[in-house]
A and B are shown apart, each in its own frame.
Chain A
């Protein structure tokens, strides 16, 4: 209890408030710019948080994540161009609402729905993760190893696209995580004689390269976006000032009438977000489909039904909180954003996992406090910024991507303090581009790269306690069950399931 109160007090300092605010503003900004999204912004921002204290750094990144989910609805609604895959479902009814003369109403509905879903999942996170961490503390190396194998087995299947390519990406990530000194013997491994690589490949350089630079390369050289974005022809502005003021108001009565849809979306998003690999786009489409199925007037969906916007936004925002459950309590990131936050933790010398609740409980509760604050700020910034984001939507891609590329170079140089870090980042940028061109999802790659060292450590510990005898697993039913589930997941996704839709930006 003392730790909880002390943590909340830490979170409430003016400095942290300002960092959360900055994160939310930045998140909503990048979410509103078509082509940019929260994971990319977090990847670029991670190096810049190096100089901050751990709480401010994580709170800032969480602010970006939460803001990005809200901001992503803006281009989806105004110009029918989702900034990220999870906003695609929002465009289905949000854009028709905007075209019908209710753009600000649609934006407000998306905002309030987002905050509702997000707050719900944060409450679940706060109540569930501590208990889960207590449970995880009882787990031995066999269970930890089996859990990581399970995560690595289901993530390639759940992110969409080819299961085999996802697995190959995960193995490549795992392989590259072994660069540096071997954990058991301390001997150099895959370093090619470079002492600078003894600490391994810099996390920030790899994340920025694969997630941000790879996407920038793809946008510049493979997509060639026109100098003027879709919204730059005045469409966004025209839509934003579309109708009379009366049509733009979202009354409390209208919002309360959507309570069942909102709650259902929040529950779906929270459940999906807690499963490693199942991203916010899956949650949004599941919630949308469920809302449509249960609606007495399903024919209204796709033509500007407010329920459609409420269902998708509450679900995709609910993922934000719950994907921190496996990260904080088990040390396993469920998606790219969580992997990046894991990277930020590691950069600041903190290892997420069950021990975090024991050793740094105050920090955990401070983070929970910061997340709740971020929701409040998301609401305020969203309401104040609605008109501004309609202008941001019109920012030209020809400016956005070159400037983002420059920030990638600067950010990586700042955190690695060398041009070698920049070179590694650029190499991984090219790798990220190749992965996108050949449909290898970057999600399992990044997650495997980030959990690689912990996975190897768990394997070594398992070998020590078991003496290398696989029969040891027979006495560990949980570990055995997880390994069986891993095999079943591989079989299901690899042989039974048809490849799901391709992950839009590969960063969900």
Chain B
């Protein structure tokens, strides 16, 4: 019998990849990160590494369970959302750190609104000018707090 192809095969394949990634992540945490980032004490009721190590190993078990008994997930596309989210996060962080809130906040809101397809001047004006100005007045002028 020919192997089942198409969406069904993809549905079964994807959870297994998720499981494998989870196993790999758990192993990296338990075998590399935790030993390198915790101290081994001579006498202790519970070693500092015990709980994180247990969590890493438990993640390995969960990953194995997913690999062995895969169940279809929602199958959401991930390339565009993850690329977009990482890009936006980087722009936000370095923009705010380098240019500050006053310049970056309107630019950031404008970027997101345009990406989402907003073209109405009224809403663009509210989002890019009125809201950042309101936040700035409230926090900097009124409360005397620092913004990025």
State whether B113 touches A399 (Cβ < 8 A): yes
In the docked arrangement, what's the CA distance between A433 and B59, Å? 19
Residues of B within 8 A of A222 (CB): 76-77, 80-81
Q: Report B80-127 residues with CB < 8 Å from chain A CB.
A: 80-82, 84-86, 88-89, 92-93, 96-97, 101, 105, 108-109, 112-113, 115-120, 123, 126-127
- Given A164-B62, A399-B123, A403-B131, A227 contacting B118 (CB threshold 8 A): yes
| Cβ-defined contact, B44 with A185, below 8 A | yes
Q: Do A217 and B85 touch across chains, with their CB atoms under 8 A apart?
A: yes
Q: Is A376 an interface residue (CB 8 A)?
A: no
A residues less than 8 Å from B119 (CB atoms): 227
Contact indicator B96/A438 (Cβ below 8 Å): no
* Chain B interface size, under 10 / 10 to 19 / 20 to 34 / 35 or more: 35 or more
Query: Contact mask B62-75 → A, CB, 8 Å, 1/0?
Result: 11011001010110
Cβ-defined contact, B58 with A190, below 8 A: no
Q: Write out the residue numbers on chain B whose beta carbons fall within 8 Å of the beta carbon of A399.
A: 113, 118, 123, 126-127
Q: Verify A184–B80 contact, CB threshold 8 A.
A: no
Q: How far is the CA of A252 from the CA of B80 in the complex (A)?
A: 53
- Choice from A171, A405, A407, A410 contacting B55 with Cβ under 8 Å: A171
Interface residues of A in 406-425 (CB under 8 A from B): 406-407, 409-410, 413-414, 417, 419, 422-423
The answer to whether B116 touches A172 (Cβ under 8 A) is: no
Query: B49 — which chain A residues lie within 8 A by C-beta?
Result: 189
Interchain CB contact under 8 A, B56 and A175: yes
Which chain B residue lies CB-closest to A224? B116
With A225-B116, A403-B131, A414-B139 as contacts: A189 and B48 at CB distance below 8 Å? yes
A263 to chain B, nearest CB (A): 37
Q: Once the chains are docked, how many angstroms separate the CA of A86 from the CA of B97?
A: 39
Chain B, residues 19-37, CB within 8 Å of chain A (1/0): the string is 0001000000100011001
16 A-B contact pairs sorted by A residue (CB < 8 Å): A168-B66, A175-B52, A187-B38, A227-B120, A398-B118, A399-B126, A402-B112, A402-B127, A405-B108, A407-B135, A419-B148, A430-B85, A433-B81, A433-B85, A437-B78, A437-B82
